[in-house]
Amino acid sequence: MQYYDEQAYQHYQPEYDQNALDAAYYTAPPVFIRQPLNYHLYTPTTHPDFVPAETNTHFVPPSSELRQLLQVRSETIHSIAPAGLKLPEELQGYHTLVPLEPSGTGVERRKFGNWYSTVYRAIRSSDGLPYALRRIENFRLTRQAAFAPIEVWSSLRHPGIISVREAFTTRSFDDNSLVVVYAYHPNSQTLFDAHLKPKPPTYQSRYQHGRQQLLLQAQSTVIPERTIWSYIVQIACAVKKVHDLSQAVRMIDVSKVLLTGQNRIRISSCGIVDVLMHDAVQDMMLLQQEDLTMFGRLVFALCCNNVSAASPPHFQKNLELIGRLYSADVKNVALFLIGKGGPHRNIDQLLDMIRGKVIQEQEEALGATDRLEHELQSELENARLVRLLCKFGFINERPEFAREPRWSETGDRYIIKLFRDYVFHQMDEQGNPVLNMSHVLTCLNKLDVGTDERIMLVARDEQNCLVVSYKEIKACIDGAFT
């Protein structure tokens, strides 16, 4: 059985030190002490050879990392905005706004078409859930009909597209703003931030003449080919879905495609361009062609680590760079998308070109569902054991009911008390308490099932002992609880 994984904590930074604790003890404000969680206290149900929980699979990180990732996401959801931002208290049924991007002087702002935009997280009052609100500043809606595309987008669900909830205009920011509400994916990053943003050099250690040296080294900016293919397949599937509905995505850009999980990307900001450009007459065929071109530019940008890699005057040089860094297939896809596939190219032709890669992606995705099912299995155990412990909590040690025959620790209830001692209060030869988590989990799992295995329960004074099966103890607990 694998339990507590020490390695999972080697990067753990306790958020306190003794001085801070002492100071906090004597001065009133309470401190939040974060205890490291035992992410690994679960009983595996399948041999790791079949569902490798420790290895890093394409979409799912190892168990310990996965749990920490989910924990950090949960912490992010509950974080609050720094004071003094003067954000609206309430906005069309949303509250507790938190900006998702830095603001203020010195922060470079890119435009969304002709408009500045800001993304906030906010809680929707009606369901208490977090959403992402993209606000387009200083936008005046001329006709209500401009919201028609939002209806279409809000009924579209696809794993490669961030779902749209609704859109509205508001004056709560002291201007005319358009707000489109999306599903919120905590801790997601734009592809630009994840891959193209210049990264600070890191220290690498190496040994020379028997001594360790730390050297500053630039981080590699080359995205592995496997990742590039995964992104291409995911975007292609999302575009296919949209084009099949006779719509166009209209915004495929490294700053608008989000990395929401390990190698998992989703197109964000859908529907906004449709509202902003509602008054312009549009030919859907042309817009769909434009989608493919934007997709091609994105592939160029990712492969060359340069947002404008597909633009003149360096197009040819960058094409050669792709040829050097990646296989001919990647280069062909980039060229096809950028326009060399002819004026009538379509998403189905692209999907035909990358069939092998789509199959590989499908296998990885099925592997990921197996892995997650395996992880869920341990959570299931978790929930059952918590329920069992709650029952124990209700039943054990009720001195106030000592004379009440239905509660007192006689008969069946005496067995429960002895079992509690057997599970939690074991002593070693020197009389020290034994804190053996795997013993506790094994006992509780057997109790949960009610196995026929028999154990010997010894009274504290060691004068009496009882041999009972887990099945009998389970019946005692159920009886007492009921």
- Positions in the binding site for ligand ATP (CB under 6 A): 100-101, 110, 112, 117, 119, 132, 162, 182-185, 188-190, 192, 255-256, 258, 268
Q: For ligand ATP, which is the closer residue by CB, 11 or 110?
A: 110
Q: For ligand ATP, which is the closer residue by CB, 57 or 255?
A: 255
Q: For ligand ATP, which is the closer residue by CB, 261 or 341?
A: 261
134 is in an annotated binding site: yes
Between CA 473 and CA 118 the distance in angstroms is 59
CA distances 80 to 85, 100, 120, 121, 325, Å, are: 11, 11, 11, 10, 43
- 210 CB-near residues (< 8 Å, 6+ apart): none
Buried b (16+ CB within 10 A) or exposed e, 131-140: bbbbbbeebe
161 in Cβ contact with 272 (< 8 Å): no
Between CA 294 and CA 298 the distance in angstroms is 6
Q: For ligand ATP, which is the closer residue by CB, 188 or 230?
A: 188
Count Cα neighbours of 433 within 13 Å in the Cβ-side half-sphere: 6
Q: Closest approach of Cβ 189 to ligand ATP, in Å? A: 5
CA angle 259, 71, 188 (to 5 degrees): 15
DSSP, collapsed to helix, strand or coil, labels residue 359 as helix
Q: Closest approach of Cβ 17 to ligand ATP, in Å? A: 32
317 is in an annotated binding site: no
Q: Closest approach of Cβ 240 to ligand ATP, in Å? A: 21
471 is in an annotated binding site: no
Q: Closest approach of Cβ 227 to ligand ATP, in Å? A: 18
Q: Closest approach of Cβ 191 to ligand ATP, in Å? A: 9
Task: Name the one residue in this structure whose structure tokens are 């094994």.
Answer: 442
DSSP, collapsed to helix, strand or coil, labels residue 260 as strand
276 in Cβ contact with 298 (< 8 Å): no
Q: Closest approach of Cβ 185 to ligand ATP, in Å? A: 4
Q: For ligand ATP, which is the closer residue by CB, 51 or 235?
A: 235
Q: For ligand ATP, which is the closer residue by CB, 193 or 381?
A: 193
Q: For ligand ATP, which is the closer residue by CB, 101 or 151?
A: 101
Single-letter residue type at 336:
F
Q: Closest approach of Cβ 409 to ligand ATP, in Å? A: 53
Asked if the bond preceding 102 is cis, omega within 30° of 0, the reply is no
CA angle 364, 182, 145 (to 5 degrees): 125
Binding residues: 134, 255-256
Binding residues for ATP: 134, 255-256
